[in-house]
Amino acid sequence: MNTVKVGIIGIGNIGSAHASAVYSGEVDGMTLAALCDTDQAKLSILKEKYPSVPLFSNAEDMMKSGLVDAVIISVPHYGHPPLAIMAFSYGLHVITEKPGGVNCSEVKKMIVAAKTSGKVFGVMFNQRNNSLFAYAKELIASGKLGDIKRSVWIITNWYRKQCYYDSGSWRATWSGEGGGVLLNQAPHNLDLWQWICGMPSSVYAECNVGKYHKIEVEDEATIFAEYPNGATGVFITSTGDYPGTNRLEISGTKGKIVIENGKLTFSSFLYDEKDFRMMAETDKNPIEVTEICDTAYNGHVDILKNFTRAILYGEKLLAPGEDSLNELTISNAAYLSSWTGKKISLPLDDELFDSLLKKKIETSLSTDKKQTSASLSSDYLGKWNTNW
Ligand X SMILES: NC(=O)c1ccc[n+]([C@@H]2O[C@H](COP(=O)([O-])OP(=O)(O)OC[C@H]3O[C@@H](n4cnc5c(N)ncnc54)[C@H](O)[C@@H]3O)[C@@H](O)[C@H]2O)c1
Minimum distance from residue 106 beta carbon to ligand X (Å): 13
Q: Which is nearer to ligand X, 146 or 187 (CB)?
A: 187
Mark residues 178-207: x for contact with ligand X by CB under 6 A, - for none: ------x-----------------------
SS3 state at 86: helix
The reply on whether position 168 binds ligand X by CB under 6 A is yes
The CA–CA distances, whole Å, from 371 to 12, 39, 102 equal 10, 10, 21
The reply on whether position 305 binds ligand X by CB under 6 A is no
Per-residue burial over 57-72, b if 16 or more Cβ lie within 10 Å, else e, is eebeebbeeeebbbbb
Give CA 42 to chain center in angstroms: 25
The reply on whether position 13 binds ligand X by CB under 6 A is yes
Mark residues 49-68: x for contact with ligand X by CB under 6 A, - for none: ----------x---------
Provide, for the chain, the percentages of residues in helix, strand and coil under a 3-state DSSP scheme, each rounded to the nearest 5. 35, 25, 40
Number of residues that bind ligand X (CB under 6 A): 26
CA dist., res. 188 & res. 388, Å (int): 13
Q: Which of 20, 103, 117, 126 binds ligand X (CB under 6 A)?
A: 126
Minimum distance from residue 372 beta carbon to ligand X (Å): 8
Q: Which is nearer to ligand X, 202 or 375 (CB)?
A: 375
Q: Give the residue closest to ligand X by C-beta.
A: 12
Applying the rule CB under 6 A, the residues between 356 and 385 that interact with ligand X are 374, 384
| Cα Rg of the chain, angstroms | 22
The reply on whether position 102 binds ligand X by CB under 6 A is no
Q: Which of 7, 79, 179, 240 binds ligand X (CB under 6 A)?
A: 79
DSSP 213: S
Minimum distance from residue 220 beta carbon to ligand X (Å): 18
Helix (H) or strand (E) holding 313: helix 299-313
CA dist., res. 327 & res. 64, Å (int): 32
CA dihedral for 330, 331, 337, 340, sign (positive or negative): negative
The reply on whether position 6 binds ligand X by CB under 6 A is no
Contact residues: ligand X, CB under 6 A: 9-15, 36-39, 42, 59, 74-77, 79, 97-98, 124, 126, 168, 184, 374, 384
